[in-house]
Structure 1
Amino acid sequence: MHQIWKSFRALYFASLMMLIGSGLLSTYLALRLAADNVDGLWIGALMAANYFGLVLGGKIGHRLIARVGHIRAYATCAGIVGAAVLCHGLTDWLPIWLLLRVIVGLGMMCQYMVIESWLNEQAEARQRGVVFSLYMIASYLGLVLGQLILAVHPQLGLELLMVVALCFALCLVPVAMTRRIHPAPLHPAPMDPKFFIKRVPQSLIAVMGAGLLVGSFYGLAPLYASQQGLSTELVGLYMGSCIFAGLLVQWPLGWLSDRYDRPLLIRIFAGLLAVAALPLAILPAVPMQVLFIAGCLAALLQFCIYPLAVAFANDHIEPERRVSLTAMLLVTYGVGASVGPLVAGVLMKLFGSQMLYGFFSVAGLILVWRIRPNAVTNLHQVDDAPLHHVAMPDSMSSSPLVAALDPRVDEQVVQEQMVQEPMVEEQEPEPEPESKT
């Protein structure tokens, strides 16, 4: 593992800096608007705009990288993101902030695509799982450290925007100075929504539910904690603790996922989330100890749903379609993460801040209702299913190319899909029996 870390430490450092900046920016904007008594609808809209930018970047990133190359694309996006971050300090007009959040999301997605394609190009097949795990750790650790900066510097001045811009400037250095060979040119993975909706409908429902939950959490949990009376330092600790709990649960979750029925696990975790969020949903004010315990438990359960849904979908998709599947999952997650903060923001405005956790509880109950293990026919289950569970970073910190790092995906298939010239559109597949996974 030490040799792998040494080989890829520049890219891991770049990912770490990006996520520190991204995590700090999201919480800073929420707290800044809360301090100005802006309602939660605007705060939710800012997070929705960020996810819209991430989804948009998944399309634009391929073209940009193909036109100017990986290093130039990364440098361009890092510069644009840094400038967009600093522009938040030049104006308080919220429609401009919405546009800036779209730009930040779009630029970061292009940066993810460069890093992930580079990792995939340089990683040997036998190293792929470790490379992937270290990348996930760097991503989550960056999100946690971004929150903890608020505990060190609680003043909500322009200094924090400078810190975010500094992170995006520093993430540029290791990529710009690399002596590694450029990765192969990228081409978009073909996406066939009709096929995936027919083949893995329950997986897509679970992924959209995860987007609703996690998007609302990142965007509005700082506002909720602030309105519970927590200081800026404690809001940073609260967010950092919740995200860290989501990281720690990934490994025991993998053990469960490889041994028990995955749709049943999704349903169980969704039901537990509905129960865990209930105290914070019912009580308008709770003691700080209860807030931290219940909040971390709810976040832990939220972060379980996405990787389980991804593993569930991969069990029913052939290897040659898994890169396309990841693109489909990203779009589905992005739709959920764009809608969730808006709906939760409206509920918080109308009925109080505790409605954020009321929204979590209702979303968990909907997943319990819609995910039906008995409806899974297994008609299209791959021969070696269930595949080995892989802890997945959420789509706030990954791109469609993250599938290329997934050791469940055949390396040769990945290479062919990433470097091949666009093919003539395939004929419409023959109708297949519905699998309802």
Structure 2
Amino acid sequence: MVEFFKSAWALLLGMMLLMVGNGMQGTMLGIRGEAAGFSTFEMSMVMSAYFVGFLGGSQLAPDMIRRVGHVRVFAALASFISAVLILYPAFEHSIVWIIGRVMIGFCFSGVYVTAESWLNNAATNDTRGKALSVYMMVQMVGIVTAQGLVTLPDPSGFLLFIIPSVLVSISFAPILLSISPTPAFETTKPMSLRELLGNSPLGVTGMFLMGGVFSAQFGMSAIYATRVGLSVGELSLFIASFYIGATVCQYPLGWISDRMDRRILIMVGSFIGALGAVLGLFAGDNYSMLLLSAFAIGGFSNPLYSLLIAHTNDFLEYEDMAAASGGLVFVNGVGAIAGPLIIGGAMDRIGPQGFFIYLIVLLAVLSAYAGYRTTRRSAPPVEETGSYTAVMPTASPVAVEVAQEVAIETALEEEQEAESVAN
């Protein structure tokens, strides 16, 4: 791992700064959109637009990298991100913000694809799993730090947008000035959605629902917080609680998942997440209860992303796992696009509490469907299932494919150990 940190410290530092910028932009748009008088529907379009761009970027960025190389793609896209962040306060119009969010989503997706392929190249077979874990923690630190920075400047001024723009501009300096070689870029041809659905109905359905749940946390939580009248400080801590919960619960749930039928854990985890949303629905003016709700939702929903990937792997051959990752990420992205639009409609009709009602419905549906799937076929023996590898919904298809490689390598090592013991 020492060698990995020597070669990847610039990448990890740059990605943390990028995540701070990304974490700030969603929150600050929620705050400024309320001040500018945007309707809930307009803001839901703005938030959904990010995921439209992100999904498009994940499909197109690999070809861009093959044509012009990692360095040029990374520098160009990061520069666009920095520019759009400055333009937001200069043109407070929903159409301009929607276009800006599509651009930023596209650019962040391309940056993630580039950085994650660098990360994979910097790691060895022995350190790849740990490297992915460190990368995920860096992402979480960046997003949580972003919520603290939102409270510093006056939200009505330009500084709230200048800070993330500067951080993004600084972020790619250590990466582009490092001496790490740029890797050759390869991606696996994705498995068809029909074949993927046939192998794992719960995996595909769950990833679609989780896209909607994650987009609610990443985009619409700020809209909800402004609509119920939370102060900037309260809003920031509320949003941070989702990601703190995810960080705290990720590895314990992963450890448990390697020792039981994952469908049952998915059923229980999504049910607890739904209960957390119920708690938020009835929190009223009890701010502590609202924070507990966000912690429970984030803590038990975000790990489901990795759980669903691991569950899908349990019904695939090793050679098919990498191909499945692209399809799962695509389905998740479609769910993320739809999520803010549905929440916006719900909040327009029944008020801010539509945010929690939406989460209750999605998590309850996932819990019920996971329970149903346990009756349709037997679970594979625990000793024959693959290992859980943590990866966040913010990751690009490259990171998910790396996680698949880690799972395959771990499974092969465990098989070799079992054979040596038997002999």
- CA contact 1:53–1:105 (8 Å) conserved in 2: yes
Cα-to-partner distance string for 1:296-352 (whole Å, 9 max, x where unaligned): 222212213211111111112222222221111111111111111110111111111
More deviation, 10-19/293-302: 293-302
Over 3 Å counting, the alpha-carbon distance change for 1:47 and 1:400 in structure 2 is farther
Cα-to-partner distance string for 1:160-211 (whole Å, 9 max, x where unaligned): 2111111211121122112122201335633422211211111111111111
- CA contact 1:41–1:342 (8 Å) conserved in 2: yes
Task: Give unpaired runs (5+ residues) of structure 1.
Answer: 414-437
Shift of 1:401: 4.3
Aligned counterparts of 2:328 and 2:45: Cα–Cα separation in 1: 22
Superposed counterparts of 1:4-403, under 5 Å:
4-187=4-187, 189-282=189-282, 285-371=284-370, 372-377=372-377, 385-394=384-393, 396-403=394-401
- CA contact 1:403–1:409 (8 Å) conserved in 2: no
Aligned counterparts of 2:366 and 2:89: Cα–Cα separation in 1: 40
- CA contact 1:55–1:331 (8 Å) conserved in 2: yes
Residue identity (%): 24
Structure 1 letter corresponding to 2:402: A
Cα-to-partner distance string for 1:126-157 (whole Å, 9 max, x where unaligned): 11111111011011111111111113335242
Shift of 1:64: 0.8
- CA contact 1:211–1:335 (8 Å) conserved in 2: yes
- CA contact 1:271–1:364 (8 Å) conserved in 2: yes
- Secondary structure of the 1:253 match is helix
Structure 2 letter corresponding to 1:12: L
- CA contact 1:62–1:188 (8 Å) conserved in 2: no
Cα-to-partner distance string for 1:59-80 (whole Å, 9 max, x where unaligned): 2101110111111111111111
- CA contact 1:46–1:101 (8 Å) conserved in 2: yes
- CA contact 1:282–1:358 (8 Å) conserved in 2: no
- CA contact 1:133–1:391 (8 Å) conserved in 2: yes
Aligned counterparts of 1:302 and 1:189: Cα–Cα separation in 2: 28
- Secondary structure of the 2:374 match is helix
More deviation, 317-326/119-128: 317-326
Give the structure-2-normalised TM-score.
0.91
Match of 2:415 in 1: none
Root mean square deviation of aligned Cα: 2.1
Aligned counterparts of 1:173 and 1:49: Cα–Cα separation in 2: 28
Q: Alignment length, in residue pairs?
A: 409
**Correspondence for 1:404 among 402, 405, 409:** 402
Cα-to-partner distance string for 1:243-286 (whole Å, 9 max, x where unaligned): 11111111111111111211111111122222221132246x33
Shift of 1:384: 6.0
- Secondary structure of the 1:409 match is helix
Aligned counterparts of 1:180 and 1:243: Cα–Cα separation in 2: 31
Structure 2 letter corresponding to 1:40: T
Over 3 Å counting, the alpha-carbon distance change for 1:383 and 1:225 in structure 2 is closer
Aligned counterparts of 2:102 and 2:162: Cα–Cα separation in 1: 19
- CA contact 1:270–1:301 (8 Å) conserved in 2: yes
Task: Give unpaired runs (5+ residues) of structure 2.
Answer: 413-423
Structure 2 letter corresponding to 1:314: N
Over 3 Å counting, the alpha-carbon distance change for 1:402 and 1:154 in structure 2 is farther
Match of 2:420 in 1: none
Aligned counterparts of 2:232 and 2:134: Cα–Cα separation in 1: 30
- CA contact 2:40–2:347 (8 Å) conserved in 1: yes
More deviation, 166-175/222-231: 222-231
- CA contact 1:11–1:174 (8 Å) conserved in 2: yes
- CA contact 2:11–2:115 (8 Å) conserved in 1: yes
- CA contact 1:131–1:405 (8 Å) conserved in 2: no
Match of 1:422 in 2: none
- CA contact 1:113–1:399 (8 Å) conserved in 2: yes
Structure 1 letter corresponding to 2:408: V
Shift of 1:363: 1.0
Give the structure-1-normalised TM-score.
0.88
